Amino acid sequence: MRRQRYAKIIATLGPPTSGTDAIERLFLAGADVFRLNMSHGEHEDHRRRYKAIREVESRLKRPIGVLVDLQGPKMRVGRFTSGKVLLKAGARFTLDLDSRQGSESRAPLPHPEIFQAIEDGTDLLLDDGKLRLKVLAHGEDWAETEVVTGGMLSDHKGVNVPGVTLPISALTAKDREDLTFALDLGADWIALSFVQRPEDVAEARRLINGRARIISKLEKPSAITHLDDIVGLSDAVMIARGDLGVETPPEAVPILQKRITTTARRAGRPVVVATQMLESMITSPSPTRAEASDVATAVLDGADAVMLSAETAVGEYPFEAVAMMNKIIDRTEKDEHYEDVVRNRGHAPVRTSAGALSAAASQVARTIEAAAIVTFTSSGSTALRAARERPTVPILCVTTNVGTARAMALVWGLHNVHTKGEVASFHHMVIQGCEVARSEEFAPPGEQIVLIAGVPFGTPGTTNILRIARVEGEADHTPRM
């Protein structure tokens, strides 16, 4: 089976969508990658979901990607004597390391790193930005604040410190345990939360040691300061608009989304747009028009994938949400202006021989009206280069590495095919490319395809051959070149 669209869909699994049948329904509705959120659920819950995903993969004979999203350091206030308090604007309110339950005048904040980083005048945002405090004075274990925006504050609500780089790692002790679990499980992608600086990505890469690919979640303003370096060190990035929207003004988020997407596309890194894309479909069978427009905007910006969170993890209409996102993407990509907006806004080819060849493949495919571009790759680099160019035809990613086939499910325009036998020669590559293009229903007999690969075969990172071939009938395995 093949998708009739280029942008991909990531669906988060939760209690209502954990079984094999539910996961199969989500995949058939349009999900390409499934997200396991380590902020919720036990390891055994996620193990069962992973096993179910692989059962669906085997049943449908399509590579499916699995993304494990680490929780990251979550800053939260402690508990209150009555469970919640009302903070009034203009009142004084103290935060400290004292573990006693809080009151209307103080609350425990068990994060010494916050007190180390703040200064007088620093703003603190509580409960996803609903409440705002301004630091008047502080010490190494306390901060006296003024309530700027008041409201009800209850146990364990989150704390954000906008504009401040906190002296903490992006990986907590829990994250390290979850990371070990995810790698042993066989995750294809690891989403790294709370990335503030390039060193956070480098630390994760040392721990992962090539066993999975890294998605850096961009949700802190400090990450934007180091955007180019973080993108360069990552295998992909995610625009996590939830926390990003808390710590930056709402009017800045759309601009940041476009800036991150442009930076990632220029670098040839897949980019995911996430958070509240079809939020109303948690409880409604249809989205708002604004949400539909939001998804379409991400597609028009050239995002590789869009993500559903609570919509499929705990929502009442998970299958409808995926189907709706599929319809929005499909309709957007079929619009007559899509090519002008996405493809003609392309970036200059990467100044390497592999980059030049990938750009040439896109141009050749367009000029001869080829049915598809067929890439042969072991690591996925050839397919990623082809996808960066946003060609006018689908891209087949042919690989003997099942991990590569699964991971590339997240990437724009790629239809991934896991083959058993290694390509033994250039002639064999052409024959196999034509057979795959025909059997996967991308190129009927008589159509032309463009093939790109790296020689020596099986060597990661090489893209140095381009060939045009014409697909012949099933009985004739000798393509014309």
Q: How many CA atoms lie within 13 A of 198 on its CB side?
A: 9
H/E element holding 151? strand 151-154
Tell me how far apart the alpha carbons of residues 271 and 274 are, in angstroms, rounded to a whole number.
Answer: 10
Based on the residue annotation, tell me whether 275 is a catalytic residue of this protein. yes
CA nearest 191: which of 206, 207, 173, 213? 213
217, 265, 385, 438: the catalytic one is 217
How far, in Å, CA of 311 to CA of 114, rounded?
A: 32
CB 377 within 8 A of CB 354: no
Q: Using CA of residue 199, residue 205, residue 208, residue 213, what is the dihedral sign?
A: positive
3-state secondary structure of 8: strand
Q: Which of 275, 312, 332, 375 is catalytic?
A: 275
Indicate which residue of 47, 76, 197, 343 is catalytic. 76
**One-letter amino acid identity for 121?**
G
Known catalytic residue at 35? yes
- The Cα 298–Cα 296 span in angstroms is 5
Report yes or no: 357 and 452 within 8 Å, Cβ to Cβ: yes
- Within 13 A of 233's CA, how many CA atoms are on the CB side? 21
Question: Which entry of 5, 35, 220, 406 is annotated as an active-site residue?
Answer: 35
Residue 76 annotated in active site: yes
Q: What pairs with residue 375 in β-bridges?
A: 397, 452
Q: Which residues are registered as beta bridge partners of 126?
A: 131, 159
Q: What is the CA radius of gyration of the chain?
A: 24
**Active site annotation includes 8:** no
Query: How many other C-beta atoms are found inside a 10 Å radius of the C-beta of residue 228?
Result: 12
Residues with catalytic function? 35, 76, 217, 275
